[in-house]
Amino acid sequence: MQSTVKSALLSLAIIASPMAIADSVNKNTQENTKKAAEQLTEQSEQQLDRYFHRLAGENRFLGTAVIYQDTTPVYQITIQPSKKAKKGWATSTDHDLKYKIGSISKTYASAIIFQLIEEGKLTLDTKLSQFYPKVKNADKITIKHLLNHQSGIFNYTSEPDFINYVFFPKDKDFLVAKIESFDSDFEPGEKAEYSNSGYLLLGFIAEDIEKKPYSDIIEERISKPYNLNNTYYGSDIKEGNGEVHSYEYKGKWGKMAEWHMNIPGAAGALVSNADDLNQFINLLFDGKIISKDSLKTMTTMDMKYGLGIFETSYGEDEDKLEGYWHNGGIEGFRTHLAYYPDKDISVVLLSNALRYDMREIYEAMLDAYHGKTVAEPEFGAPIELSKEQMEPLVGSYSSDTFPLDINLSIKDGQLYAQATGQGAFPLTAYPDDKFEYVEAGIEIRYDRDIDQFLLIQGGQGYAFNKEGGKKHQAFAVPESLLEQYVGVYGADDFPLDLEIMVKEGNLYGQATGQSEFPLTAESETRFRFKLAGIVINFDAGKKQLTITQHGKDTVLSKK
């Protein structure tokens, strides 16, 4: 499940470039890969161990991380709280612990829908109106629209009231009525935008067809036939069954409240462990769970979305890996599952406590797989700011993508932040105008040049602008020229479309399914979103732009 507020463009680099599905892996490739896997164990295990130990020691990560070659773990580590350990946590190579996997559940739901299609009980063109005619545009929405997030149905986890019922049991009638009450965000098939509502409905449709609860469908179609006995529909966490709690950090790790698992349903209610996740993705791509034809349809991208799965890639040249993935987030759990068919390797990352960029963690794992040096993450020491250094930051800030305003103030020589209707909290300063409020896992990155900050919490980022502050348009660009840049840009090897727009004489960007972000002009053709490390260069004559992030240039063309 995603957060109740959409993420900013910081998540852009999580999805890398697309690929064509590989139907098989030749023998030589398998032999070479196994050799590389042995080298990982010999040469890189200590570096990865130190990497994870540093994260745990800085209260940034708890969880399980495994790299698999086929079904064999070539690296594995688990870090969990320990009352016996002086440092409060302990490591092991036990990867049997079970985690709530959040939206990775959608890949399972998609597989079940394809099974029903293969049995003649559904088609991709079946209309939603056959099951739930009161949903807006139900007569236009197909099963395929639900699978690849093109239905236009409002995402129910984004409504303000969601937090008021997520912890309590609600039946199907309640949830369907919720979805029926929403207006459409767009016409079906017009564009793609991530929506948990579609997958919740897909689970209900499976129940209607099979005449049984979705938990039984998972057991009968996935768990039992493929011996995935640690994969099932979640309920209250049972530590005696090897299930772990999720945690939030407030000076120390504390257990988070549990959602009632009827609420996420097929969109995010499954529980699993690392071995089962790896086994599932291998069986899926071996054509065992659904047919190869169904798999090809499932992994064909349309508007950068597959049907319950996404494309990804890592590295370049001889190190390049191309594959498929899905991630998840529910309560304090953050999960990642990726599979690279050409090398037959999987990366499984299951966290039940996270205050770090998950992308950086699984990229470090892949770096180790390729024999690259994995350095320990660095965390700067707090610094003290003078009153003169803090005063320019004082003021009221608002965001187009966050529901509350935030006020920054100084009290007793300390910088404080306060959201609308909430208590003030102190901000600890770090170098380069970074601030943290550890107790709530909040990080703020400030840009003094344009009176803007990026608030990051739970892996989500939101840009805030100061009321009456400096305009983000540092270089004056004629609006007539800005209008030439307006449009939707994309490329076959880029996972998202990027829309460029003009608002009140300023340029903004917005990636598919994400929040808009301001672009500061550095020249008539060069623009920057400093807080996310994004630079965009426009070529109006060619109707193209080049986006640079994390040192990688990608050319997008106007559609």
Report yes or no: 351 and 132 within 8 Å, Cβ to Cβ. Answer: no
| CB atoms near residue 77 (< 10 Å) | 22
Check whether residue 508 and residue 437 sit in a common domain.
no
Q: Among residues 260, 266, 270, 269, which one has the least CA distance to residue 162?
A: 260
Say how far apart CA 371 and CA 378 lie, in whole Å: 21
Q: Is 488 helix (H, G, I), strand (E, B) or coil?
A: strand
Task: Specify the CATH number for the domain of residue 172.
Answer: 3.40.710.10
Q: What is the DSSP string of 270-298?
A: EEE-HHHHHHHHHHHHTTSSS-HHHHHHH
Check whether residue 249 and residue 395 sit in a common domain.
no
384 by Cβ neighbours in 10 Å (0-12 / 13-18 / 19+) ranks as exposed
Q: Considering its fold, how many domains does the chain have in total? A: 3
20 found inside a domain: no
Q: Which of 342, 369, 396 is the last residue of a domain?
A: 369
380 found inside a domain: no
Check whether residue 420 and residue 523 sit in a common domain.
no
Check whether residue 247 and residue 207 sit in a common domain.
yes
pTM above 0.85, yes or no: no
Say how far apart CA 457 and CA 470 lie, in whole Å: 25
Q: What is the DSSP string of 309-370?
A: -EEEEE-SGGG-EEEEEEEEEETTEEEEEEEETTTTEEEEEEEEEE-S-HHHHHHHHHHHHT
Task: Specify the CATH number for the domain of residue 408.
Answer: 2.40.128.50
According to the model, what pLDDT value does residue 166 have?
95
According to the model, what pLDDT value does residue 18 have?
23
Give the tens place of pLDDT for each residue, 515-551: 678 898 889 999 988 887 889 999 999 999 999 876 6
Check whether residue 357 and residue 426 sit in a common domain.
no
130 found inside a domain: yes
Check whether residue 322 and residue 422 sit in a common domain.
no
256 by Cβ neighbours in 10 Å (0-12 / 13-18 / 19+) ranks as middle
Check whether residue 462 and residue 484 sit in a common domain.
no
Q: What six digits make up the tokens of 66?
A: 């495994």
According to the model, what pLDDT value does residue 442 have?
85
Q: Among residues 164, 335, 356, 327, which one has the least CA distance to residue 246?
A: 335
Check whether residue 36 and residue 161 sit in a common domain.
yes
Report yes or no: 531 and 462 within 8 Å, Cβ to Cβ. Answer: no
In the chain, which stretches have pLDDT less than 50? 1-38, 473
Q: Which domain holds residue 38?
A: 29-369
Give the tens place of pLDDT for each residue, 355-390: 888 888 999 999 999 889 999 998 888 999 999 999
381 found inside a domain: no
According to the model, what pLDDT value does residue 359 have?
83
According to the model, what pLDDT value does residue 346 have?
97
Check whether residue 295 and residue 443 sit in a common domain.
no
Residue 110, amino acid: S
Say how far apart CA 265 and CA 171 lie, in whole Å: 10
